[in-house]
Structure 1
Amino acid sequence: MGLSGAVCGWCCGIVLVCVAVIFLLWNEGRAVRRAYLLDEALSRCRSLTNIDVAFDNNNGHLVHLTGTLITTEPLEDTHYGISVWAVRLRRVVEMYQWVEEHYTREYEEDGETRKEVTYYYSKEWKRTLIDSSFFDESWFHKNPSTFPIGQKEWKAHTMVGSFQLSAALVELLTDWWPVELSFNDRLNSEGVILLDSVIYYSNNPTIPEVGDVRIKYEAAGHAGSTRPDRVSIIARQSQGAELTAYYSADLDEELLLLHTGTASHEEMFSKEHTSNIIMTWVYRGIGWCGTFIGFILFTNLGMYLVEDIPVIRELVSCGLLITNIILASSVTLFTIAIGWLRHRPLIAIALLAIASIPYMMMVKKQIPR
């Protein structure tokens, strides 16, 4: 590692720590707003026992209801003669294409650091076009420029009891399942091959070539007369018995919940709180890793100064590792405390006290006895 690399790492470390702190602050703000939104919604939610009639006195209010998904007709892709009773249906199109990967190796030669790049090519099924014109060996690895047919999604007009699901609510149905296909006249006229419920534009699906296309269908939300899905919903009852997002003016946040199965509104809010906590800790972990890596880059300049002294280098490396872990943990705790200072002052003060321990120990060591 040269001096320029150490200085560059020092600058990148500062930037990364700043970005990580901003990310942590955003995460705490998001967690606080979500927690307060769920608490506010719980206090205002009305649980409906009769979903066969949409009473006008509930218009504009947050309601909870449970029922089965109802659609009036199946979703169809007329191009291939595919029909399925579901709330959502999507056509997934993939093309067999060249994929480029590269491996970079750094080595020293004549006192200079050089890079050697090796390119590797493989063939894979991809849902998006890969532009082979940017390949290092584009002449020998060419991909088609377009798909013969595009991705597409269909959505049904869906009801639960007498209530109509809004488009945003339908989007929450994401438990996709593969649609089983059978050969029909439309597929026969297209001249395609059907194998394991997948449509192939290929001479041999078991040995595909670049440019071959395969199509499969996925659906979400069983509906109709056969085994319709039962769902639990928390939403705002609008005019016309449509279920839309609840808006909190105080928090400037929206809430719209749909869970598969039967669940009370207390159970649904409890699950959302748990999900919020898990997501918050995952993001905190990402933020901590960002600050830790940032401090490593920041302190690499110190490693450069002792790079040629093996014994001291090992001692400094171990000391810096421990220091970076402590600093990353302290900065993360400090940032979390700032995010909760207004809403949970006692917890925030406790976190600030813990975060300040390393700095107080440093100050204490510098005070002459």
Structure 2
Amino acid sequence: MATLVETLRAHWLIAAFGLILFIAGSSVLYWNEGRAVHTMMALDETYADVYSMQFTEEEQDQTFDNRIVHLSGPIICGEPLTEPDYNIQLMAVKLRRRVQMYQWVEEAIDNHFGDSEDSVHSDTRSYYYKREWRDDLVDSRRFNSRRGHQNPQRLPIESVLQVADAVYIGKYELGGEVKNKFNNYHELTSDIRPEDSSIKMHLGLYYHANDVFNPEVGDLRILFTYAGMEGEIYSIVGKLQGNKVEPYITTRGVPVLLLHHGEISAAELFRMEYRAQALHTWWWRFVGWLLIFFGVTCNTKMLRLLLLRVPPLMGLAPDLHFPVTGNFVIAFSLALTIAAIAWILHRPVIGACLFMAGASPYVWLTRNLVDYQRVD
């Protein structure tokens, strides 16, 4: 059997790569668990002091300045958002204009497969040209063949996002960061045609084109979407500063601001947020574990030599012929142990559970080893 030094010399490159993966996975896990701990503590702190506004007459005589509040009700917009050229006037939190231009697009491939709308062949590559609707300008000056494939140099109409200046729930105004969380966009459809006869409508889109079915390079099409229509019911948790709802900054400096569509109680809002944070945490745990698993896999031979030298850990040594199971167990144990370190000081019960789960493969294999030695 080769020694540890001989194995390291023979596989130093893959061992170094595996070490990098292991460090990266450990860093991801430690960062993720630290983030999860602080987020959960921030939610706990916020939930402990939240007050649900009922919009009663008794509340009119009370002051809630600098209090954490839960609001639920229909949103009210101060002024409409408008697009005069398209006869659009909408009472909503956000109105987004998305502009696309019909342009030439170049594709370069090494193999000579079938032609597209237009193609140019060179000794090493084939360049194909086709026309597509694109959000961003395609610089035709960078094309391999510019002749007959010229795009306009600018967009005559830009994409833009309008945000209402004043939005309320009851008498309380929503701050800028609250309005930024309205991101559930819906397509805006209208039967009112623009006054400009050169602008055509088709399937909810506005076309600056002679023929919507046969567009030419330089033609435009525009899609309008909105978020937060006036009258829709939303539920919010934030801090009242004066008459405006802003994020609550916890004692640890973590901002907390919750917003969901519908009439939802404070308890249910926090339950939803806890669930979302748990799913987010487990996703990053999987990413960290995967990096550690590949890092361990790159160092299977050296790990086997190391573990075989320690009798209590011999059962963890991966089988060189079937290494996946052993590597899986080692990566699983290491990942949970790293996670436990981040939790143990703040949530001892969670930290202890993670640590015991991480140690369980070692305990089980050690027990089997002891039983085997007794039989001998």
Alignment of 1:1-369 (within 5 A): 9-50=14-55, 57-97=63-103, 98=105, 100=107, 123-131=131-139, 137=144, 139=146, 143-156=151-164, 157-182=166-191, 184-188=193-197, 191-223=198-230, 228-239=231-242, 241-249=243-251, 251-298=252-299, 318-356=321-359
Q: What letter is aligned with 2:259?
A: L
Instruction: Give the distance between the partners of 1:154 and 1:329, measured in 2 at CA.
Output: 48
Could you tell me whether the CA contact under 8 Å between 1:51 and 1:160 is conserved in 2? no
Could you tell me whether the CA contact under 8 Å between 2:332 and 2:358 is conserved in 1? yes
Could you tell me whether the CA contact under 8 Å between 2:97 and 2:161 is conserved in 1? yes
Instruction: Give the distance between the partners of 1:129 and 1:197, measured in 2 at CA.
Output: 23
Instruction: Quote the offset at 1:158 in angstroms.
Output: 0.7
Gap runs ≥5 in structure 2: 1-10, 112-123, 304-317
1:129 aligns to what SS in structure 2?
coil
Instruction: Quote the offset at 1:51 in angstroms.
Output: 6.5
Q: 1:224-243 CA distances to partner (integer Å, 9 max, x unpaired)? A: xxxx101111111111x111
Structure exhibiting the larger radius of gyration computed from Cα positions: 2
Could you tell me whether the CA contact under 8 Å between 1:51 and 1:163 is conserved in 2? no
Q: 1:259-318 CA distances to partner (integer Å, 9 max, x unpaired)? A: 11111111111111111111111221222222223344555999xxxxxxxxxxxx9775
1:87 aligns to what SS in structure 2?
strand
Could you tell me whether the CA contact under 8 Å between 2:69 and 2:237 is conserved in 1? yes
Q: 1:183 to 1:63 in 2, by over 3 A?
A: closer
Q: How many residues align?
A: 334
2:182 aligns to what SS in structure 1?
coil
Q: 1:172 to 1:119 in 2, by over 3 A?
A: same
Gap runs ≥5 in structure 1: 1-5, 105-115, 303-314
Name the % identity: 29
Instruction: Give the distance between the partners of 2:227 and 2:233, measured in 1 at CA.
Output: 12
Instruction: Give the distance between the partners of 1:155 and 1:51, measured in 2 at CA.
Output: 30
Could you tell me whether the CA contact under 8 Å between 2:319 and 2:326 is conserved in 1? no
Instruction: Quote the offset at 1:346 in angstroms.
Output: 3.8
Could you tell me whether the CA contact under 8 Å between 1:45 and 1:64 is conserved in 2? yes
Instruction: Quote the offset at 1:27 in angstroms.
Output: 1.2
Instruction: Give the distance between the partners of 2:293 and 2:139, measured in 1 at CA.
Output: 37
* 54-63 or 275-284, larger mean C-alpha shift: 54-63
Using structure 2 for the length normalisation, give the TM-score: 0.76
Instruction: Quote the offset at 1:17 in angstroms.
Output: 2.3
Instruction: Give the distance between the partners of 1:322 and 1:142, measured in 2 at CA.
Output: 57
Q: 1:172-193 CA distances to partner (integer Å, 9 max, x unpaired)? A: 11221111134534442xx232
Q: CA RMSD in A?
A: 3.7
Instruction: Give the distance between the partners of 2:201 and 2:172, measured in 1 at CA.
Output: 39
Q: 1:125 to 1:19 in 2, by over 3 A?
A: farther
